[in-house]
Amino acid sequence: MAILKIARMGHPVLRRRADEVPDPTAPAIRALVADMVETLRDINGSGLAAPQVHIPLRVVIFHVPAHRAQADSLPRPEGMTALVNPVIEPLGDEREDGWEGCLSVPGMMGSVPRFRRIRYTGMTPEGARVEREADGFHARVVQHECDHLDGILYPQRMTDLSLLGFVEEMQKRFAEAAHADRD
């Protein structure tokens, strides 16, 4: 296993459509997923897509921490999910704004509209078919990671770029707003 180098915004691997994986259970895919899991744990993120580690294949991993899913109504998946060739279908037109960051856009965050509720399918590297419905944070992280497979980074989904900024600055603003609310 190895910790992999993360591609940053501007690298062409993040702009292209990633290729389908012909055999999701191939040993090379299992090895890739193991390295991606180790990389994500090292950097303490919620999700990672293979193009972010310079591999243009349709593979994502993600997890939904309990504290991030408190407002979600559908059940949260336990542990890390790895999906090969994932497909997303929005359930309804409803979208909601939420804050996102990305390991490929380090130090920044932005408010991104996403479908509130989705269904997604894919294969695990163990050969199991996954089909789930998700809402809230869970739906958001899946949409964010799958966008990477189509060469899309979250700022491209933003409708108000004034809500894109450096995490340090934005958190100061949130702290000030929270303080103002208390006054």
Catalytic residues: 145
Q: Are 58 and 19 in contact (CB under 8 A)?
A: yes
Residue 53 C-beta: closest distance to Ni ion, Å? 11
CB nearer to Ni ion: pick between 41 and 172? 41
The yes or no reply on residue 14 touching Ni ion (CB under 5 A) is: no
Size of the site for Ni ion (CB under 5 A): 1
Residues 93 to 132: which contact Ni ion by CB under 5 A? 102
- H helices, E strands: number in the chain: 3, 8
Q: Decide: helix, strand or coil at residue 47.
A: strand
Binding mask 36-65 for Ni ion (x = CB under 5 A): ------------------------------
Which residue number places its CB atom closest to Ni ion? Answer: 102
The yes or no reply on residue 4 touching Ni ion (CB under 5 A) is: no
CB nearer to Ni ion: pick between 84 and 153? 153
The two most distant CA atoms of the chain are separated, in Å, by 59
Backbone angles phi, psi at 24, to 5 degrees: -60, -25
Distances (CA, A) of 28 to 36, 55, 57, 112, 134: 12, 12, 12, 34, 29
Residue 86 C-beta: closest distance to Ni ion, Å? 14
Q: Are 103 and 11 in contact (CB under 8 A)?
A: no
| Residue ranges in contact with Ni ion by CB under 5 A | 102
